[in-house]
Amino acid sequence: MQRATKKKLLLLLAVALIAAALVGLYFYLKQAGYLTVFTSVEALQDYVRGFGPWAPAVFILLQIAQVIFAPIPGNVTTLAGGALFGFWPAFLYSSVAIFLGSLVAFGIGRFCGKPIVYKLVSPAIADKYLNVLAGKQRLTLALLFLFPFFPDDALCLLAGLTGYRWGWFAGMILLTRPWGTIVSSLVGSGEISIPLWGWALIVAAAVGLMVFSIKYGSRMEDLLLTKIRGRRSGKKGTA
């Protein structure tokens, strides 16, 4: 067996073991009642603050966990981080954690399949968004991550079921997820305050773009790919 193949198998085994351990840990914590710390920003702040100098490390681990386990509310953890650490530290901690958590969640979907994903995500939500993502609509998935009020964390798990490549998924996460983290960290730290009408505009814009993407996303992707291929062919022809 080639060295590259062995490394790939070891990596896949490591991801599978980590995913299994995290899933088991989640159900244990849920059964034991430890997840009540996520019920409010104040409860989470008190919990993390209790770790003293280890608070940043605990916060990062909690952020990773909230991505993987969709029932844990991500807005609570990010807002609490902003209030605890201030904007820049909270943004950096959350960005690293959310990126890593997104990749682990994607790996769970990819390697564990529907039986595990449907235990972590509501079957109704899973079926709804899997239908939306049918046909690998990359633009639609990117918009779902880019705008608020869509289940980003659940989508990481579901994306693993749809056959997207690791490289593309990782790049898309880096380009889309930090924007929501910026807003949540700013609001949590008290740097900005968004009025009700502002949230209403954000919701209306997000819904409008999503409807457009679902209806015309595949056509737009095909058009862009055709143009890109045409330019490449033109460059080769003039070379």
Does pTM surpass 0.95?
A: no
- Interior angle at CA 8, CA 3 and CA 10, nearest 5: 95
Residue 198 has pLDDT above 70, yes or no: no
Lowest mean pLDDT among 61-70, 143-152, 218-227: 218-227
The pLDDT tens digits for 45-86 are: 888 898 899 999 989 988 888 888 755 667 788 888 998 999
- How far apart (Å, rounded) are the C-alpha atoms in residues 7 and 13? 10
pLDDT exceeding 70 applies to what percent of the chain? Answer: 62
Tell me the three-class secondary structure of 193-204, residue by residue.
CCCHHHHHHHHH
The pLDDT tens digits for 103-139 are: 989 988 888 888 888 888 888 888 888 877 766 678 7
**Domain residue spans in the chain?**
3-194
Residue 28 has pLDDT above 80, yes or no: no
**Whether the Cβ atoms of residue 35 and residue 25 lie closer than 8 Å to each other:** no
- How far apart (Å, rounded) are the C-alpha atoms in residues 209 and 84? 34
Residue 26's pLDDT band, with cuts at 50, 70 and 90, is low
Q: What is the dihedral of CA 19, 20, 26, 28, to 10 degrees?
A: -160
Length, in residues, of the chain: 239
Residue 152 has pLDDT above 80, yes or no: yes
- How far apart (Å, rounded) are the C-alpha atoms in residues 189 and 211? 33
